[in-house]
Structure 1
């Protein structure tokens, strides 16, 4: 890759302005900011969002002055996006950056830390003189984009009226926080002061899947991690995840994965 084909900056200043005028920009706004101004229109309530911005777009991010980072801006040249490793992805500029509307993704809570780690590794590699660093950067970009395009991330377009998207994002954050105690859609609907039907309708419209599938996905993700990377017994894992018995946990896990918890642990 040519020098500066990939560039990362942190969102620290009061106003973060577009710097690389000919590059595509991926803005990950992690913490609360005043808003992002795109083509002279201000959009508020954009925390925990990723924007994909074409070089022709004029934008700036507004935040209060301070030393705390509110996220990252990743700049990419067309040469990088056209690399064979990235060119077949949905995220590719032909299918996303040039879509006519400005795409906005809200990452599933469990993915946020991973994406931050990937961006930090890319930034570290950019400042290094390691052999094959270009290959490593492209591989990390590929992983970053695949995470962004994951099925259960919330995908929409930039808008000042996205109430259903906000409901779904609040639901997903509640699932991430309370998965050890609540396994039923109705319990989350109560926390949101909604009916289970309305919550499910919102999730179906925004994500194309059911509310229950989001809960199941989170349980399976936590189960796999505990089985693979902890020393807890299956019984301990089942109770930590809020199942009534180890037998029910094993039944749940096998129903949704096709293998038992003990078989996964041995693999």
Structure 2
């Protein structure tokens, strides 16, 4: 049996791929073939509409923030530990540097997207402390909220005005775009605060338990792979942990563990130069074949087949 190798987080991070930048993302999602030099601001910002015809890029990590306003249909998302569906009249934010995947577009899906780097906003009027507060997305909750009709139309109007400012490029148009974008971020934060204040979920013991479980997974996914190991850390039985997870999330505790491992494996296979053996070692699989069997059971393809898709 080959010697088992372990790779520290530091070793992998040193070789970790850079996040996807706007130069790569915009042509994929906007239908543009390239970013034109006539619009240099597009290295920091863009707004456009997407539908099911866009090319899916699978698991990714962006170096920019993405704001999604869903006009119709639905889209399945994973952002960090959160798995959720974006549907019509929802607004969602994918924070920069978070591993994510967008999939499962419905045939009638349409959404407006704003993508921007924090530096784009910092060229405006607000100080850094306020911007940092606006851009902070609470990692404990899925970053998506349903808007009522009035708020939806208000935000749709702001998206339209941003698109109009970008198309016309009149004097001060970038400053106008920043003002509308800041309003959208304030709207998002307001809806977030209202939802959390009106929610009794955080008073629920099961929710608190599952929340702790998810944080532990994010910390130990590379080394702990069984429900029992996490239940021991939480000082409860595996059965109780499984029941709480099922009731709160709708799927099993082991599914949650596997989801995080697979997400990391996909990201490293797609973007890193690590060998499959090194990835298996980082994720602490006993053998390369064990990692291969696990990955195929989750994705219906081998790690090698998945890597060839990039």
TM (normalized to structure 2)? 0.42
Q: Point out the structure with the larger helix share.
A: 2
TM-score, normalization: structure 1? 0.48
